Amino acid sequence: MTFEIALVYGILLVTILLFVSERMRLDVVAVLSLLALTLTGVLSPEEALAGFSDPVVLMIAGLFVVGDGLFQTGVARAMGRLPSKLAGDSEVGLLVVIMIMVALLSGFMSSTGTVAVMLPVVMGIAWDRGISPSKLLIPLSVASLMGGMLTLIGTAPNIVVSNHLEAMGREPFGFFTFTPVGGAVAVLGITFMALVGRHLLPDRPAPGAKVDPGDRVSVRELADTYDILPNLFQVRIPAGSPLTGRTLAEARLSELYGLTVVDLREAPEEEGEGTTHWPPRPGRPRKRRRPRSRPALAGERIGDGEILTVQGPPDGMARLVAEQGVALLDDAEGEADVASLETGIAEVLLTPRSRMLGHTLKEVRFRDRYRVSVVGIKRLGTLIDGDLREVELRFGDTLLVKGPWRQIRILGRESRDFVVALAPEEMDDALRPHHRAPIAVGVMGAMMLVMSFGIVPAVTAVLLAAVAMVLTRCVSVEDAYRSINWESVVLIAGILPMATALEITGGMALIVSALGSVLAEAGPLLLLGALFLLTSALSQVISNTATTVLLAPIAYQLAVGSGYAPEPFMMGIAVAASTAFATPVASPVNTLVLGPGGYQFGDFFKVGVALQVLILILTLAVVPLLFPF
């Protein structure tokens, strides 16, 4: 053993120990490992930094953007309805259904692509169910890796061992040759996760994840705290009404009736006797319409058939209906819509430095300036009655504003005069580009098609899909950058040079040759088990494809030299290469779920090692039956 090999082994050991200790972030440990290899002269700066331009790293970053496009447009939520429906209320059933779906998909497309498509779906299911994503994302990655064992094209190691058999003049493995073994592994893995593995998974929120619905207030709950519903009405302006053609200032509804117009919108194409609510109320279907809303500015003109949201006393509303001929939209509860797909409410808190202090809303022209209406004011937790436009504002007052969701989001950029203290949970959903869902589906489908047929390299297909998501506005540029989990990207880029160091110093060849000399006289079952353990162990620190390329020729020669058929050993290596469960850097699919699941190194280790042992036992029992020595 040379000094360089010993040095690389030492750096690798320290890196693994730091990973396991969890005293430092995984990406920081990976960068320290990279620097150690550079400063000791094992790798040149170019070799050490090559990981940041590696196709796997770029592909992972691109897949985060593609996944966010599916989430933002609502595709992920729609896809999540099937497993939710099949599983019912059972969390265990949900885990099993998700793993079966992912394993089947992964049998016919890359495991990385499968996880990229399903990650936002599973995250959406977790948030909707109030389940921590960490309870579902490791099962997602495990299922994708096991699904790769089902067919010849499921994962690269399967193709590698088949091609090597053919190169040696043997019959290559067929498309479904792997299916019996892979199917048995999948059944074992899913059963293990349902009965034991799920108890080993952490229950923690993911960093930067969506806030649990229990910690966010809904539109209705926020409206109830200001008691605005009894005094909020919707009226339709019929043809020929005296109000038609007038501006809001000319209509003088506040002076004549004590009413304030909150917003105006065109009449929907489909309108019944009652008001259609958003979000939908139980038992009431949501009508598919997107009426255009306008802020109630003084110069806005009232048109025929338009619907006005009006706030004020019920007696003033009764006089408006009687004198102006407007039609009050009835509701079973006598309440108007608080929110729609376009408009909503939020709570605003005045700051100590606010220029609005000591002034009224009318004096600061709040509605004209911010294009939202104030529909409620609280002072020290007590509601203020009367004409809100004439209330002199004080520090600590909270205002309930109503207007277009996009304007409410713009209010969030304000920091001097006020801050948005509370925005309801429906706001996130309303601002997403749901109407671009067909485009997102098309981009995803095209990416999967191109990757499946190898029309262009996988990394090119993913980057094209990510750029398409941005150009078609399925996801904004800002959201695209935010969607990338940079810890995962830096982690995989920082650890990839370790494989390069093991290869160029001869460290990997030393391990393989030492094993070959020890096992030359071993029995077939012991040889199969040893090759499985070595392949599985190496796959935790370098790619499973590289591991298979290195070990397949060794396994073939050991088998033939000992007078055994090579097929069972090649099958064993292929299965072992797909058991990359125990570390977050063992496979890109593990790295993809690392950040969103809020996982630590030990989370993968606890589940992965137990599952690897079970699959080893299964392999030793099943492979010799199907592929005799």
**Using CA of residue 605, residue 611, residue 617, residue 618, what is the dihedral sign?**
negative
Cα 279 to Cα 283: distance, rounded to the nearest angstrom: 12
- Per-residue pLDDT, 211: 40
| pLDDT tier for residue 521 given thresholds of 50, 70 and 90 | low
CB of 203 within 8 A of CB of 178?
no
Cα-flanking dihedrals φ and ψ of residue 566, to 5°? -75, -20
Out of 223-237, 355-369, 502-516, pick the least confident.
502-516
The model's confidence at residue 77, banded by pLDDT at 50, 70 and 90, is low
Helix axes 179-192, 601-626, angle to 10 degrees: 140
Spatial distance between the Cα atoms of 520 and 354, rounded to a whole number of angstroms? 81
298: helix, strand or coil: coil
The pLDDT of 164-182, averaged and rounded, is 87
Range with the poorest average pLDDT among 53-67, 265-279, 372-386, 601-615: 265-279
User: What is the per-residue pLDDT for 339?
Assistant: 57
Question: Residue 220 pLDDT more than 70?
Answer: yes
Helices within 202-283 (DSSP H only): 219-226, 248-251, 253-257
- For 147, phi then psi, to 5°, come to -65, -30
Write down the domain spans for the chain. Answer: 217-424, 507-590+606-626
Mean per-residue pLDDT, 70-78: 74
pTM score, whole prediction:
0.58
Does residue 526 sit in helix, strand or coil?
helix
- The answer to whether 418 and 392 are in contact (CB under 8 A) is no
Q: Which of 204, 228, 412 is nearest to 309 (CA)?
A: 228
Rounded CA separation 115/120 (Å) = 9
- On average, the pLDDT of the chain sits at 80
Q: What is the mean pLDDT of residues 414-430?
A: 72
- Residue 143, SS3? helix
pLDDT tens digits, 582-618: 888 777 788 878 878 888 888 888 898 999 999 999 9
Who's near 232: CB < 8 A, 6+ residues apart? 262, 309, 310, 311, 335, 336, 338, 375
Residue 174 and residue 158 in contact, taking contact as beta carbons nearer than 8 Å: no
Q: Which of 21-25, 30-34, 379-383 has the highest mean pLDDT?
A: 30-34
Pairing of strands 398-404, 373-379: antiparallel
User: Residue 292: its pLDDT value, please?
Assistant: 65
pLDDT tens digit sequence for 286-311: 444 445 667 777 788 888 888 888 88
Could you tell me which CATH number the domain at 217-424 has?
A: 3.30.70.1450
Residue 203 has pLDDT above 80, yes or no: yes
pLDDT at 99: 93
Contact 70, 444 (CB under 8 A): yes
pLDDT at position 426 is: 63
Which DSSP state fits 241?
-
Higher local confidence (pLDDT), 184 or 445: 184
**Which H or E run includes 576?**
helix 567-577
Strand ranges (DSSP E) for 443-563?
A: none
Distance from the Cα of residue 550 to its chain's centroid? 35
| Confidence grade of residue 204 (pLDDT, cut at 50, 70, 90) | confident
Residue with token string 């009449």: 267
For the cut 80, the answer to whether the pLDDT of residue 22 exceeds it is no
CB-CB contact of 548 with 573 (8 Å): yes
Asked if the model's pLDDT at residue 429 lies above 70, the reply is no
* Among 356, 503, 361, CA closest to 419: 356
Question: How much is the pLDDT for 512?
Answer: 63
Quote the strand ranges of 130-222, DSSP E.
none
